[in-house]
A and B are shown apart, each in its own frame.
Chain A
Amino acid sequence: MDGDIRLRQRLAAGDDGALQHAYDRCSSMVYGLALRVTRSREAAEEITQDVFVYLWEHPYNFDPGRGSLRTWLALLAHRRSVDWVRKEERQRNLLDAVGESEPSTLIIDMIIAAETGARVRDAVAELPQRLREAVELAYYQGRTYRQAAAELGLPEGTVKSRIRSGLRRIADTLAEEGSAS
């Protein structure tokens, strides 16, 4: 506890030795946790880097009065890992619906990459109703196309092709905006 209070002071004071110390003490835990949740070494590495960069840039956000540094880093790592898994799930569901051919994976990558902005949401909102409901189920609610078909009471083939055309339109909208800006 006392050690964490001083470690936080050293981090705030810009002592990079304190960052190394925090990394050496907690990186196995952070990496291991991220690896268990994501099952991806690449993702676990990215999350580990993210978590320690965040600690270094936001030392005041860690409050030793509320828990140990280890616990706080574990929370950060867990939150990021769950986000990563959700994103992966969405991507997998979409791929499942549209097939793994080159152009459709490209479209999905493009949409996932643009997702931080409000741009995807705007593009989804612009879709005609029948395409929009299929895309929303698959993309935002993480349903597989089979689940979406059951919910909408439509044949699986129809839902698949609606998701596919919906994604293509979103990609067109994003591409237009990209070239316009």
Chain B
Amino acid sequence: MTEPSLELRARTLRAALSRRAPARRAPGFARPYAAVVAMLDVLLADLDEPEWTSAAAGEWDARDLVAHLYASDGLLADAIAGTTSSAQDVPARTAEAVGRRLPLRETRLEWRRQANALCDAMGEIDADRRLEVGGFRLCIGDHFTARAFETWVHTDDIGRATDRDVPPPLAEHVHPMADLGARGLPVALALIGRDHPDRVLRLILDGPGGGQWTVPLGTAATGDAPDAQVRMDVAEFCFLAGGRRDPETVRAETSGDPAVARDVLVAASFFSGP
């Protein structure tokens, strides 16, 4: 017999899933988060000790980054559950989590456990409910997209630092992240004091998960005719938004009102954390 048996198929799949659990099942809005959590988890499972403790983003090593993700995820978990288990802002909560210096394995397991619990709790949640988390008031769906995005950025940080070629998330998971970034631009412009309330931006993001957005930059903007256009790769836009690219040097084609285009690139990274 030269064909593998059906029994072998079942046995192989069982063995694989018992060694690495699949991504947590979650409703659509939380699926990008569940997927990126699986991407980071399988990367962490492969790291040896020196890789865990070599710098991955600034001064931070993989252990600090995972503790930071645990802290930020915890804020969202608290807000959804309506509890306050500890500090309610990201820096304080991160300092607390990083300061505990848990063993490496435990750092990963604790983060993963909380991430799984977050996904599990989403079954009967209204994704449109608005919540304030870490100073930002967004609907739960957008909060999840933001968590997926930050988890991706740090997965990429750790992959780069440890010489592993980490691909971007799936196109259908990148798209909501890019969309959140695009929608956030008017607020970001206002917060950095460079608002253009009467202008309309056309944002074209190329590559898997990209798309086209027409963004009125304020309430005074009328019509759909864009005053400025920014065109760039969707992954570059995401890395810019994640604070991993310099607005001055990031690869982007701009046209129309140059001040709007320039300010949009600066504003894009406004929401990025460490």
> Which B1-27 residues sit within 8 Å CB-CB of chain A?
1-5, 8-9, 11-13, 15-17, 19-23
Chain B binding surface SS class = helix
- Residues of chain B lying within 8 A (CB to CB) of residue A35: 2
Given contacts A14-B42, A15-B23, 20 further A-B contacts (CB under 8 A): A9-B167, A12-B38, A13-B38, A13-B170, A13-B173, A14-B20, A14-B37, A14-B39, A16-B16, A16-B17, A19-B13, A23-B13, A24-B9, A27-B4, A28-B3, A31-B3, A49-B12, A49-B15, A60-B164, A60-B166
Q: Quick check: is B43 within 8 A (CB to CB) of the other chain?
A: yes
When the two chains form their complex, are residues B12 and A14 in contact, meaning their CB atoms are under 8 A apart? no
- Residues 93-136 of A, flagged 1 when their CB comes within 8 A of B and 0 if not, give 00000000000000000000000000000000000000000000
- Residues of chain B lying within 8 A (CB to CB) of residue A59: 42
Residues of B within 8 A of A (CB): 1-5, 8-9, 11-13, 15-17, 19-23, 34-39, 41-43, 45-46, 159, 164-170, 173
Known A-B contacts A13-B38, A53-B16; A23 and B9 likewise in contact (beta carbons under 8 Å):
yes
When the two chains form their complex, are residues A45 and B4 in contact, meaning their CB atoms are under 8 A apart? yes
Please give the distance in Å from B26's CB to the nearest CB on chain A: 11
Question: How many residues of A are in contact with the other chain, CB < 8 A?
Answer: 33
Across the A-B interface, the 8 shortest Cβ-Cβ residue pairs: A14-B38, A14-B23, A13-B35, A31-B4, A16-B22, A56-B16, A49-B12, A53-B16
- Residues of chain B lying within 8 A (CB to CB) of residue A32: 2-3
Residue on B nearest A30 in the bound complex, by CB: B4
Known A-B contacts A14-B39, A16-B22; A5 and B13 likewise in contact (beta carbons under 8 Å):
no
Among A9, A28, A41, the residue within 8 A (CB) of B169 is A9
